[in-house]
Amino acid sequence: GAVVSQHPSRVICKSGTSVKIECRSLDFQATTMFWYRQFPKQSLMLMATSNEGSKATYEQGVEKDKFLINHASLTLSTLTVTSAHPEDSSFYICSAPSGLGTGELFFGEGSRLTVL
Amino acid sequence: AQSVTQPDIHITVSEGASLELRCNYSYGATPYLFWYVQSPGQGLQLLLKYFSGDTLVQGIKGFEAEFKRSQSSFNLRKPSVHWSDAAEYFCAVGAGRAAGNKLTFGGGTRVLVKP
């Protein structure tokens, strides 16, 4: 079964509104989680690393104020797309390290955001 | 910096035929290598991984991959493809905890299976 769960799986919103996506680790703790963005027919691009108890680390070119990340507990990270615009429409996937120290990640099911 | 190249964007294969997906990586030390599969609109599922030891690794769904250090490759193979294998496949490289558990993904290869 899934060890990382994302919610919602699909969301449609109006331009200018904010959308929150949740990522939960099931039955294990994750001090770090990763948020990826995937455009249609393209690969996954790492957006940021979510750190429990501290600020997220953003990859170059990712707007911190646009994509707010909060790692509220050892099992929950949230990504909020603020003032969403159509160009923010994408597939967002979160992941958490397996804990083996080998870089293996467990991935969530993904969340498809459509901004009208 | 690490990087991954998947030279084939699309591959079409007949059901029952063999499949090989190419992956080349660039990394200064021994990498951790992964193959993930993604069905449309879904997250990623781990097929197999290589950390050390035997360079031929077996994964789920009948897949295997071979790590060749001299060629910086980690090609994925399956002897006989099933229609359900149609999906997007991603090769990824990481450095484990030393690199913050980050993975770098290749561009992906979309596999189409003909009846």
Q: What is residue A104's predicted lDDT score, i.e. its pLDDT?
A: 83
Tell me how far apart the alpha carbons of residues B20 and B26 are, in angstroms, rounded to a whole number.
Answer: 20
Q: What is residue A43's predicted lDDT score, i.e. its pLDDT?
A: 87
**Is the pLDDT score of B98 beyond 70?**
no
Q: Show Cβ contacts of residue B88 under 8 Å, excluding neighbours closer than 6 positions.
A: B37, B38, B39, B40, B108, B109, B110, B111
Residue A103 contacts B, CB cutoff 8 Å: yes
- Residue contact B90–A43, C-beta within 8 A: yes
- Residue contact A6–B43, C-beta within 8 A: yes
A36 against B42, higher pLDDT: A36
Q: What is residue A15's predicted lDDT score, i.e. its pLDDT?
A: 97
For the stretch A55-107, pLDDT in tens is: 999 999 999 999 999 998 999 999 999 999 999 999 999 999 887 766 788 99
Q: How many CB atoms lie within 10 A of CB B38?
A: 21
Q: What is residue A72's predicted lDDT score, i.e. its pLDDT?
A: 87
**DSSP state, residue A45:** E
Kindly report the CA angle at B110 between A21 and B84, in degrees rounded to 5? Answer: 85
Q: How many CB atoms lie within 10 A of CB B23?
A: 26
Q: What is residue B52's predicted lDDT score, i.e. its pLDDT?
A: 85
For the stretch B34-87, pLDDT in tens is: 999 998 888 899 999 998 888 999 999 999 999 999 999 999 999 999 999 999
Closest to A79 in 3D by CA, of A20, A36, A38? A20
Provide the token pair at A90: 């994408």
Residue A63 contacts B, CB cutoff 8 Å: no
Instruction: Give DSSP secondary structure letters for A57-109.
Output: EEPTT--TTTEEEEEEETTEEEEEE-S--GGG-EEEEEEEE-SSSS--EEE--
Name the closest residue on chain A to residue B90, using Cα atoms: A43
Instruction: Give DSSP secondary structure letters for chain B.
Output: --EEE---SEEEEETTS-EEE--EEE-SSPPEEEEEEE-TT--EEEEEEE-SS-SEEE-GGG-EEEEEGGGTEEEEEESS--GGG-EEEEEEEE-GGGGTT-EEE---EEEEEE-
Q: What is residue B68's predicted lDDT score, i.e. its pLDDT?
A: 94
Residues of B in contact with A41 (CB under 8 A): 110
Percent of chain B with pLDDT over 70: 97
Q: B58, B76 in Cβ contact below 8 A? A: no
Residue B34 contacts A, CB cutoff 8 Å: yes
- Residue contact B43–A41, C-beta within 8 A: no
Q: What is residue A1's predicted lDDT score, i.e. its pLDDT?
A: 58
Residue type, A108: G
Would you call A24 helix, strand, or coil by DSSP? strand
Closest to B78 in 3D by CA, of B65, B97, B87? B65
Q: What is residue A20's predicted lDDT score, i.e. its pLDDT?
A: 97
Q: What is residue B23's predicted lDDT score, i.e. its pLDDT?
A: 97
